[in-house]
Chains A and B, each alone.
Chain A
Amino acid sequence: MPVNVRIVQGLQEAAGILASDRGAQLLGGGTLLVRDINEGVMTEGTLLRAVDPVLLAMNTGGARVELGAGVTMAMVLASRDLPYLHAAARGIGGPAVRTTATIGGNLFAATPYGDFTTALLALDAVVTLHAGFGGARVMPLVEMLANRARGGVGLVASVGFSRPAGADAFRFVKVARVRPKGVSVLSIAAHLPQNGGRISGARIAYGAMGPTPLRAKAVERVLEGRTLDAATIAAAKSAALEGTQPATDAIASEWYRREVLPVHLGRLLAGETS
């Protein structure tokens, strides 16, 4: 049977179908799943299209930000409250991809895609999950990505995170070989709150440096309590590769990714453009 499409109103119903039908997948913007249909990867099963307005909700004004999983990259870019996420959103495809590509879909994009998720990881985001017909629960994004690697997640309804401390506290870079943009060699997001000139609570995340976006815990430890001077940056660069497992793909070899990661991390921390 060819692929079927079901349109459902409520999230609960969608989550129930996802839990009971192994062939069902939730359709976000279609940039991943419709591609699979076009290439003959997905030749059967069901695409679930949930039209619940909750998926498009954006609470961006306060210290705590909540974005529906169906919010598109274009919507993020149109929001004046989310300037810190604009670089990550602009890094996703061209304008025609960004009008459909969703935050929720990006959470499921296989490496080397998923650069927006890298940014969310550095914001220490949590996801609101609907699994089965039960209620929603909140789970750290780190945990959700680990579950994703194992195959089971449920339905992501939204992501939430605290707004970064200041304009310079959040940095993002996507490294591609094509200008103005291409698929990631890697991406780096850094949340660098400072207290009296010293970094406190650093969070660094990498995209395309492992099977899913991942946190650079060793770099975070190096940065903690230090000023962002040349010595700190040098120490961060030497810790950059810890815990990474980059892949070789059409964009770059794992060797190349390892070679350039510390360079780009150093530039990002120094506030230089890559």
Chain B
Amino acid sequence: MARMPVQFRLNGSDRAVFVEPAETLLGTIRRGLGDFAPKFGCGQGTCGVCTVLVDGEPRLGCLTLSVTCEGRSIETASGLADGPTLHPLQAAFMEHFAAQCGFCTPGMLMAAKALLDRNPNPTRVEVVEAIAGNVCRCTGYEPIINAILAAAQQRGARRA
């Protein structure tokens, strides 16, 4: 089967890559472009460790075909920090011990970013709903929820 050319923007950089027709976005980002931040956990949409943003919306890299991403803008956890300056979510995750093994963290951060970009002042219930598709087997979620709420607060304080 002929490979297909795809162009999209990854964390602000324009990238062009040839993909297998049924190649997933996760596979393309990781093995095609070398950004290993999003992970493979289940391949079936139940764990969320592959969560990336496509045009600002949370998407599962393992269920999205790369050929459907032509011309889109894709964000991964690798692009969260601004140079050496961490994104407020990253800083809050560090501060609140919101990671243990770290495997769910890149997806968790992107799900949280999708929430805060649309809803800067979420309630706890909204935070829980926003990460409802992201499995963490280590922390029991509470530190993650607290970190996201703290990041929202901190961003709010900075805007004020």
A and B together in one complex: yes
Chain A: residues with CB nearer than 8 A to chain B? 1-5, 7, 27, 29-31, 34-35, 37-39, 47, 49, 74, 90, 93-97, 99-100, 180-181
Chain B residues closer than 8 Å to A35, beta-carbon distance: 43-45, 63
* B64: interface (CB < 8 Å): yes
A100 in contact with B63 (CB, 8 Å): yes
Q: In the complex, A1→B20 CA distance in Å?
A: 12
B130 in contact with A95 (CB, 8 Å): yes
Known: A39-B44, A94-B134. A100 touches B64 (CB 8 A): yes
What are 12 A-B pairs with beta-carbon distances under 8 A?
A: A2-B1, A2-B22, A4-B22, A5-B21, A30-B68, A31-B45, A34-B62, A38-B24, A38-B44, A38-B63, A49-B68, A94-B58
Least distance between A173 CB and chain B CB atoms (Å)? 17
Chain B residues closer than 8 Å to A94, beta-carbon distance: 48, 58, 111, 130-134
Chain B residues closer than 8 Å to A39, beta-carbon distance: 43-44
Least distance between B27 CB and chain A CB atoms (Å)? 9
A96 in contact with B59 (CB, 8 Å): yes
Selected from A27, A29, A34, A95, the residue in CB contact (under 8 A) with B111 is A95
Chain A residues closer than 8 Å to B20, beta-carbon distance: 2
Selected from B21, B54, B60, B114, the residue in CB contact (under 8 A) with A97 is B60
Selected from A4, A34, A180, the residue in CB contact (under 8 A) with B1 is A4
B58 in contact with A95 (CB, 8 Å): yes
Q: In the complex, A2→B24 CA distance in Å?
A: 13
Selected from A2, A180, A181, the residue in CB contact (under 8 A) with B21 is A2
Q: Is the interface on chain B under 10, 10 to 19, 20 to 34, or 35 or more residues?
A: 20 to 34
Q: In the complex, A97→B111 CA distance in Å?
A: 11
Q: In the complex, A74→B21 CA distance in Å?
A: 26
Q: In the complex, A100→B21 CA distance in Å?
A: 19
Chain B residues closer than 8 Å to A90, beta-carbon distance: 129
A38 in contact with B132 (CB, 8 Å): no
Known: A34-B62, A35-B44, A94-B48. A4 touches B21 (CB 8 A): yes
Least distance between B33 CB and chain A CB atoms (Å)? 19
Chain A residues closer than 8 Å to B128, beta-carbon distance: 180
B65 in contact with A5 (CB, 8 Å): yes
Chain A residues closer than 8 Å to B134, beta-carbon distance: 94
A5 in contact with B132 (CB, 8 Å): no
B22 in contact with A100 (CB, 8 Å): no
Residue of B nearest to A30 (CB): B63
Chain A residues closer than 8 Å to B48, beta-carbon distance: 94, 96
Chain B residues closer than 8 Å to A27, beta-carbon distance: 65
